[in-house]
Structure 1
Amino acid sequence: MASGAPGGNFRTWTPTPPERGSFPLDHDGECKEQMMKYLKCMKFTENKNAPNCRILAKDYLKCRMDNQLMDKSDWDSLGLINLPGDKEQKTETIKEKKSLGN
């Protein structure tokens, strides 16, 4: 039996690069500990997007940024803001209240 699209219409598939560019491998294991903690959390939560796993994801990505394994990005653009225990979140909230006059 032949494989392909119905009717024998074979189309070529052109892969597209990732949206954020390359993601070099961590050959030296600089961020392996953070990665393993994150993967363990994901396994424990059955791959749910739990806040505790998101904190570990943020730690892992911070390690990668600090070790030049990925470009530095804002946490907002990575979707990792307002996590439990974020110091930045508390500071921003205080600044917002002061600017509003509360």
Structure 2
Amino acid sequence: MSGNPGNSLRALSPTPPERGSFPLDHDNECIIQMQKYLNCMKLVGNENAPNCRLLAKEYLRCRMDHKLMDRDDWNHLGLPRDLEEESISRDKDEHYFGQGK
């Protein structure tokens, strides 16, 4: 007799995080950006300050550039787009949808 309820032999399988897992920064490629962000959070008492969000964005950009996480849209990460990215997106929209006459 097995001690499992329902006599199930199926192994428990862990589920990955919703956003997926990503490698640790073993080579400290983004440690400077991480430290700046953590220092900012410490200064503002862990509040969601705009200047800290910009540092978080720098850190995430570093991680993306070094293939430590998948590229994702800033809106999906809860961060605003850069002005340059906004103008590129607007140009694409105008190309596909016309200039809103």
Residue aligning to 1:88: 85
Cα distance in 2 for residues equivalent to 1:15 and 1:25: 19
1:66 paired with 2:70, answer no
- Counting matched residue pairs gives 85
Q: Structure 1: which 5+ runs fail to align? A: 1-13
Which residue of structure 2 aligns with residue 47 of structure 1? Answer: 46
**Does 1:18 pair with 2:17?**
yes
1:77 maps to 76
Give distance in 2, aligned partners of 1:21 and 1:94. 30
In structure 2, runs of 5+ residues without a counterpart are 1-12, 94-98
Partner of 2:55: 56
Question: Normalization by structure 2: what TM-score?
Answer: 0.69
CA offsets per residue over residues 43-97 of structure 1, 9 Å max, x none? 0010111110000000000000000100111111111115xx74434x279768x
Mapped partners of 1:66, 1:41: distance in 2? 22
Amino acid at match of 1:58: K
| Deviation at residue 25 of structure 1 after TM alignment | 0.8
Structure 1 counterpart of 2:68, one-letter code: L
Return the alpha-carbon distance in structure 1 between the equivalents of residues 34 and 84 of structure 2: 22
CA distance in structure 1 between the partners assigned to 2:89 and 2:25 by the alignment? 36
RMSD: 2.7
